[in-house]
Amino acid sequence: MHVWTRAALVAGSLFSPLLAQGEESEPVKTESGLIQGMSDAKATVYKGIPFAAPPVGDMRWRAPRPMASWSGVIRADAFKPMCMTAQPAIPGGPMEKVSEDCLYLNIWTPAQRSKARLPVMVWIYGGAMRAGSGSSPVYWGDRLVEKGVITVNLSYRVGSFGFLSHPDLSRESGQGTSGNYGIMDMIAALKWVQRNISAFGGDPHNVTIFGQSAGSLGVAYLMTSPLARGLFHRAIGQSNADMGPVGAGMMLPEQAEASGVRLAAEFDAGSIADLRQIPADKILAADSRWPADAEGKVKPGTLAVRDGHVFPAVMYDTFRAGEQNDVPILIGYNANEGGYLLGEPLKAGAYIESVQQEYRQLAGRVLKLYPASSDEVAARSQLRLLRDNWFGWHVWTWARLQSRTGQGQVYFYNFSYVPNYPPRSPLVALGAAHGFELGNVFANTELLPKTATAKDLHVLQTISTYWTNFAKTGNPNGPGLPRWPVFTEREQHVMNLGDPIVAGDIAQADLRGLELQDAHTMELRSAGESTRHH
């Protein structure tokens, strides 16, 4: 049983009861037709609003196209299936229905319409760009609307359905490139928000994108794509970015196309037209083996392609040049990101060998900071190294580059809070693991343990208020909250979302680890540049 599943059983369900159906709301006029949601005393929810045409049949592996108009009223009272995936939206959680026809969004508004246009928060789900759902109860916006914002949960294609590249696709695209359909789905949804959200009481000039894990990656990607310019005004990223050199994160077009050719060969598909005829479930069955290199090794990292269209450059180069979509950002990561992600740790000897292989000349420094004097010590070091390598360095670099080249201010956090779990809960050992801030962000009290204290509830309300304050003004601060200082490259202030919630500087031990990862990545980048120029 997955550790997150065990946690859910012990700490209380991850999946809160369905929002009461309530009463039918007044229809809202969108560009394509009328939508009717359902209201209860606190919120009105519109489930399953189409923001683009279904990407099925000949539309598979194409940029999203506008939704056709409809007559009458669509009753938006049921969530739509999530995009094609073999994984649940939440690790260890239940599996939702899946479909290629998945480009829908969900909207939560206050039950009572405000005369003023409300700030809009658009959620981008995580799932390693291979899974995820915009309708998982963990991400519902019914609590955030009570804090004076409208929330939108978009859906986007994942895995090979969202990111496949192939020479035939590149030729038919009109740009000479292919892939990145999942990112284009995000952009299409944001364009829909710009054109339609005012009808729901939202302010199209005050849109915040926010996401966790691969959703945070999506947020950072949207900051680097010229196609997303002007579609949002603030950004919140929780636990991910892609600041590595090309090939380590984004794929090069030739790599991506070659991998797409190998996928087509698995089905003896002589053309993209043939591949589009393959049933979606068969494509999905091969998805876990894609993208792969010539030796069949599955590529780690992200699935995005530096295609020259959606992404003219990799994220690091875009931010370093000051060419990002420049908005205020609130970003950070968790104290024990490795948590359940690490799996079975390596024994000390194997760990030392892996460090020497990956870090080469820097291995001695790495082993001094992340030691392996025993198997137990090595296990703890691997947790810290995974956190700093996979998550911390990328987010810290995002913060530094934005503060260096952008005008939008940076607010940086470290989440370490552990609520009052029952003594035998497996969550006690996991601490502030990957994704464990989500209940606080969405003010979801169902995610608190049954043994929760007043302090746990206070932390939840404080964090969700920071997030919604930032969405309203670009500044998380407000009455009654501990002051959150601005992060700059010179003054690297961090808000410690722990016990207590207090601002400070990045801890020296953490900073040494981040700087060591920075040195390692600079070596990788230099080696890559040298390879490309010879």
Biggest distance spanned by C-alpha atoms of the chain: 70
Cα 519 from Cα 245, distance rounded (Å): 13
Residue 78: CB atoms within 10 Å: 9
Which among 393, 228, 390 has a CA at the least distance from the CA of 318? 228
Q: Tell me how far apart the alpha carbons of residues 210 and 216 are, in angstroms, rounded to a whole number.
A: 7
Give the whole-angstrom CA distance, residue 336 versus residue 321: 32
What kind and span of H or E run contains 471? Answer: helix 454-473
Residues 158 and 351: their CA atoms lie apart, in Å, by 32
108, β-bridge pairs: 45, 151
- Quickly list H helices, 277-347: 280-287, 315-320
**DSSP string for residues in 196-236:** HGGGGTEEEEEEEEEEETHHHHHHHHHHH-GGGTTS-SEEE
**Active centre residues (catalytic):** 213, 337, 434
Q: What does the alpha-carbon distance between residue 171 and residue 69 come to, in Å, rounded to a whole number?
A: 30
Q: What angle do CA 367, 369, 372 make, to 5 degrees?
A: 45
CA distance 81 to 465: 31
**How far is Cα 367 from Cα 373, in angstroms, rounded to an integer?**
10
Please report which residue ranges of 345-447 form alpha helices under DSSP H.
Answer: 348-359, 363-369, 375-386, 393-405, 427-430, 438-441
Closest by Cα among 186, 165, 160, 233 to 51: 186
Q: Are 461 and 146 in contact (CB under 8 A)?
A: no
Q: Which residue has the tokens 């409300």?
A: 118
β partners of residue 151 = 108, 121
List the one residue out of 299, 264, 262 whose CA is nearest residue 61.
Answer: 264
Residue 449 amino acid letter: P
